[in-house]
Structures are given as structure tokens and as C-alpha cells.
Structure 1
Amino acid sequence: MQILRVDSSTTGDQSISRQLTQMITDHFAAKNPDATVVTRDLVDAPLSHIDPITTKAIRTPPETHEEAVRAAYPAERSVLDEFLASDVVVIGAPMYNFSIPSQLKAWLDRLGVPGVTFKYSEAGPEGLAGGRKVVIASARGGTYENGTMAENQESLLKTFLDFIGVDDVTFIRVEKAGFGPEAIEAGFAAAREEIARL
């Protein structure tokens, strides 16, 4: 079993989502002592935003790659392979300006690969990357209802994961972080109870 932990918060030791990803990863590791834990810190080791070279490396067959694309391919493909090799994926996703951090979006851009994680047919798109559990550690300064115009963070992640075929998605939230320490601790207390049920 492989557990992949992905962090994207830029606030270091103060990060609520990083504390959540640690708690969630520890929970799954305790339940699966033989599991391999792989970590990807998108702040310490950021992925570039996609450009013409990385897009070709991600989305086109290796046998069509020219030299620059061929050189980029191993690192680009390793991001996807790491995800596909994982049985549990824990994603730290704080809300930044009503969406996700741009470094997390850059990671998602490596996962949407035609013919690998999704395909199109006359019946519409079909996700190909199911068979794994994704737990999203969501941290927000306020409180937002799913489906409202202000809620673009969790809905983006849910829509993307559903598109590539991942239907086992759980959100663990700490909300109202901007309300102060008492609200944060209440959020963590509720999160611990939810994590224990995973």
C-alpha cells in the first residue's frame, strides 16, 4: 500500500492544512503499518506552471517528443505515476482567494492526461483513474456553502477528481480560521473525530 501526502500551504508551521495532512497521514499509516508514505511538498519543491514543453511532455506520446520535450518527460510523468501508484492520497488544500493555491493547480495539471486518466467517447468523458481513496484537508478562514459563488476551492477539487474517475473523496475541514484560536481548536476537534472514522 502507498500513501501519498501532498502539501500546498505557504504558511509553514502556522499552516492548518499541513497539520491536518499530518494527522490524516498518521491515521492511515497506523492502520496500515506496512504502508509506504510518499510526500510531495509543492512549496519546498514547486512544480512550474505548465508551458508548451511541459504540456507536450504530459499529453503527447513519448515517441513523438522532440529533444526538449523528451528531456522534460521523466520529471513530468513521475508526478502522475506517483499519484497512480498510490492507494490513498492526502491533499492539503487551503482556500487562497476563494480557490486553491496555484502550486496545487500546477500539480493537478499533471494529472489530467487524455488516454491515461480520462478519455472521451460518444457518451461523454470517462474517468480512468479510480480505485484510490482521496482525503482532502481543507482549511478556510470563513465558512462557505458548497455550490455558492464564493465556494470555488472544494468544488474545483471535487469536479476535477470526479472527471478523472476518483469517486472516493472525503473532505476534512477546519473552517473559521480567521475567527481566532477558539474557532480553530473547535475545528480541529471536529476534524479529529472525522479522521477517526476514516
Structure 2
Amino acid sequence: MIKMAKLLYISANPKGPEKSKGMQIGEAFLQSFIEEQPDINITKIDLFQFDMARMDADLISARGKLAGYGLSFDDLTEQEKTKISKMHRLADEFIQYDYFVFVSPLWNLSSPAVLKTFLDNLFVTGKTFVHTANGPKGLLSGKTAIHIQTRGGLYTGLPMAELESGDRYLKIALRFLGIDVLDSVIAEGLDAFPKKAPGIVGEAKVRAVAAAKVMARQPAYL
């Protein structure tokens, strides 16, 4: 029996799809992807409404006990068990997908904090990466991701590019886990040139449509 390919669409914008320019670009991406893969199974996550573990003292302690000190799950406190279990469930679910679409704005030179929290949950030793004699190795090879990002200012090809850490960190994190990351779809200058915003978004949608076709044509390792 052939398993249906799965795509996880992760948005990090409290405005929602009606007001978020990034999510509008993201919808254009999805429609183009569906044209290429009509049978794709799509799940959407709104990180501002998503329940996930946060890196606090209990979670850090639990990770250290299990990975660093070689203790068992039974050696954890009840709070540690609850939080590490939530983290592992998210990672286990994430692993089931073949394609990932991240949609987020650039806020204060980086991504919204909820996106970093989500990524923190994916770094689980033995599930998404392992330590080897040659350093860490990602275990999620054969999966593909792309980032759709909106920016108020201009960064590409300018000195400000060195200060942008949202798109750069996301790609670093995903590649660390072994995921193939395509070139990001960036719509920038939306606040600097508000009158040009419709054109900027429209041009980004064109690139998103093209990127979706490229991504959809990459085979999922089912």
C-alpha cells in the first residue's frame, strides 16, 4: 500500500490569513503545490494557537538526565516527564511529514519567539539527530522544507543582510536535522514602501508558485 505524502504548513503570524501578507503568499504556494500533487495530505499549524513545550528548567533538566547522564524516563520528576513527553510527541509527529512550509515575518531582526520554541522541540537526540565521532548528524534526510518570509525593510544585497537572523537561523536549524532546504521566498520593503506592498506581495506570490512546483516535483521518500 502506497503511503500518501504529507506536508506540514507552519505559520507564525498572529494576524491570521486575512491580514497576514506572508500567509497570503503561503496560500499561493499551497495551491500551486496541490496542482502538482493533488493527493498531498496537508496539515496546518498556527504557532500562536499551538500547544507545545517550552524550554524551562524542568525541560532542560529532563533532556540532560536522559541524554547527558543516561538516566531513564522513570528517574524524572513528574513535571519533567510531562514536559519531555510533550516535546517527544511533537518531534514524533514532525518526523511523519515529507514536506515543510514555514511562513513567518521578520520581527526585530529575527522570527517570532513561537517559531524558535517550535524548533526547540525538534532537537531530540536519537529521534532527529545523533552525536557521532565526527559531530552531530541529522536524521531527517529525504525531507524538504522552504521558508516564506515577509520583511518590513530592505535587507537583500545590503549591509542590513548581516543583521537578519530569522531566515538564516531557520535554515541552519533545519539543515542541522538533515532536511533539504530550498531557497526562501522573501517579500521585503513592505513597511518601507507601503504603497508598493501589493506589487511586492504579487511578485512574491509568483516566486512562491514557482518554488512550490519545484518542491512538489522532488520525490518524497515514502
The counterpart of 1:6, out of the listed 4, 10, 18, is: 10
Partner residue, 1:89? 100
C-alpha separation in 1, matches of 2:99 and 2:148: 13
Partner residue, 2:47? 42
C-alpha separation in 2, matches of 1:164 and 1:33: 28
Q: Deviations over 1:80-121 (max 9, x none)?
A: 122211111111121010001000000000011122222222
Partner residue, 1:135? 146
Q: Deviations over 1:142-198 (max 9, x none)?
A: 121379432111111111111111123331111111134443222222222222323
TM-score normalized by the length of structure 2: 0.78
Q: Are the equivalent residues in 1 in contact too, given 2:101–2:148 (CA < 8 A)?
A: yes
TM-score normalized by the length of structure 1: 0.86
- Identify the structure with bigger relative contact order (alpha carbons < 8 Å, sequence gap 6+): 2
- CA shift at 1:32, angstroms? 1.8
Q: Are the equivalent residues in 1 in contact too, given 2:7–2:100 (CA < 8 A)?
A: yes
What residue ranges of structure 1 are gaps of 5+ in the alignment? Answer: none
Partner residue, 2:170? 157
C-alpha separation in 2, matches of 1:168 and 1:149: 20
C-alpha distance 171-43 of structure 1, shift in aligned 2 (>3 A):
same
Partner residue, 1:24? 29
Letter in 2 for 1:52: A
User: Aligned with 2:54: secondary structure?
Assistant: coil
- CA shift at 1:73, angstroms? 4.1
The counterpart of 2:78, out of the listed 60, 67, 70, is: 67
Partner residue, 2:217? none
Q: Are the equivalent residues in 1 in contact too, given 2:26–2:208 (CA < 8 A)?
A: no
Question: What is the aligned-residue RMSD (CA, Å)?
Answer: 2.4
Q: Are the equivalent residues in 2 in contact too, given 1:140–1:175 (CA < 8 A)?
A: yes
C-alpha separation in 2, matches of 1:172 and 1:118: 27
Letter in 2 for 1:129: L
| Greater CA drift, 8-17 or 49-58 | 49-58
Partner residue, 1:101? 112
| Identical amino acids, percent of aligned pairs | 25
Q: Deviations over 1:22-71 (max 9, x none)?
A: 22222223322222111111112353531133345667364554432333
Partner residue, 1:177? 190
C-alpha separation in 1, matches of 2:26 and 2:60: 29
State the structure with more CA Rg: 2
